[in-house]
Amino acid sequence: MGIYMKFQGKVFNWNDDKGFGFVEPNGGGERAFVHINAFTGGSRRPANGDLIIYELAADKNKRYRAAKIKFACDSRKSKAKSKLNKSNMVSTVFTLTFCAGLIVLVLTNKLPVVVPAFYLLMSIVAYIAYAIDKSAAQNGRWRTQESTLHLFALAGGWPGALYARNKLRHKSNKQEFKAVYWVTVLLNSGALFWLLSEQGALLLNNLIPAVLKG
């Protein structure tokens, strides 16, 4: 018995009582026998018209059957989830690197400790704002404006906003929102880089005592 390649096709003549039917590949080709035991994942039982992805197997008598069957929709969801997980990993590494950089800058006296403390405070505020908006979306209450969430990120809360997006699965699939979010990250990072300059350091040295005095 040999297995050749993957196909996508539509289930027909499915007999749910007996647990078998047939599949015809998209674009034509060999029809194959489909058995319930050949499905992987076990998300649900098939029905006529379902699109499936399968490997074509044939015995010595050239009778074809479908093997290692997955529903096409499940395969797409799996790929999308894998892509999202990879994106989350990259963004998490970036955030951890940024935070480590802040610590190094403080330890080398290039930034006052109040700067990472402010990032931490704004991250907590951003996380709470995302959590409130997530709860409002689920319960039909008044939503937080996206511009407000972006403002928190721009002000230094973007690490907390990123953690909220990944942890709460909120605003994680909206491409336009994600694009604006990363713009706020770049703008905030640029502002931090400016604070390392002579003019930025001078501003910090004058601003921090004034803020602490109230």
Residue 36 pLDDT greater than 80, yes or no? yes
Q: Is 13 left (phi over 0), alpha (psi -120 to 50) or beta?
A: left
pLDDT band for 1, please (50, 70, 90 cuts): very low
Q: How far apart are CA 64 and CA 69, in angstroms?
A: 14
d(CA 197, CA 193): 7
Report domain 2-74's class: mainly beta
pLDDT tens for 105-123 read 999 999 999 999 999 999 9
75 versus 9: which is more confidently predicted?
9
Say whether pLDDT at 214 is over 80. no
Measured CA to CA, the distance from residue 11 to residue 21 in angstroms comes to 7
Residue 171 pLDDT level (bands cut at 50, 70, 90): confident
Supply φ then ψ for residue 50, to 5 degrees.
-65, 140
**What residues does each domain of the chain span?**
2-74, 111-213
The pLDDT of residue 210: 65
Contacts with 180 (C-beta within 8 Å, 6 or more apart), sequence order? 146, 150
